[in-house]
Amino acid sequence: MTLMNDKVHAYKDQIGALSDVLPDVVKSYHEFTGECFQPGVLDAKTKQLIALGIGLFANNEVCTFYHVQEARSKGATDQEIMETVAVAGAVGGGHALSQGAMRVQKALQ
């Protein structure tokens, strides 16, 4: 098993343990996310690629690993996954630059 699989499995184990403490919360979360990831106007692969980009932007290692696996299982190619990485990088860089242009320059006045 790879490090990626180990981390995803550890997360799933911990969610299982959390379910013992907060069963309604975990059940509701799974129902909500399950519905969000159902194919609709956006197909399931596209939704997984969006989630991957958000996971990267949020610096969430487990979500990154999980959504790479899910995107692949929905038919995403390595190229599509890496283009998602590039878009997340552009958004992340744009976020920092926009904050510098707006907030930092304002603070310097």
Tokens representing 75 are 């038919």
Q: What is the pLDDT of residue 79?
A: 98
Integer angstrom CA distances of residue 100 from 15, 96, 105: 38, 6, 6
Q: Domain 3-108: which CATH class?
A: mainly alpha
pLDDT > 70: what percent of the chain?
99
What digits encode the pLDDT tens for the residues 26-78? Answer: 999 999 999 999 999 999 999 999 999 999 999 999 999 999 999 999 999 99
pTM: 0.85
Helix, strand, coil tally for the chain in percent (to 5): 85, 0, 15
Sign of CA dihedral 28, 75, 90, 93: positive
Q: Return the half-sphere exposure (C-beta side, CA atoms, 13 A cut-off) of residue 50.
A: 8
* 57-74 burial: b if 16+ Cβ within 10 Å, else e: eeeeeebbbbbbebbeeb
Q: What is the pLDDT of residue 60?
A: 94
Domain boundaries, the chain: 3-108
Radius of gyration of the chain (CA): 17
Q: Average pLDDT in the 91-96 region?
A: 91
Q: With bands split at pLDDT 50, 70 and 90, how would you rate the model's confidence at 1? A: low
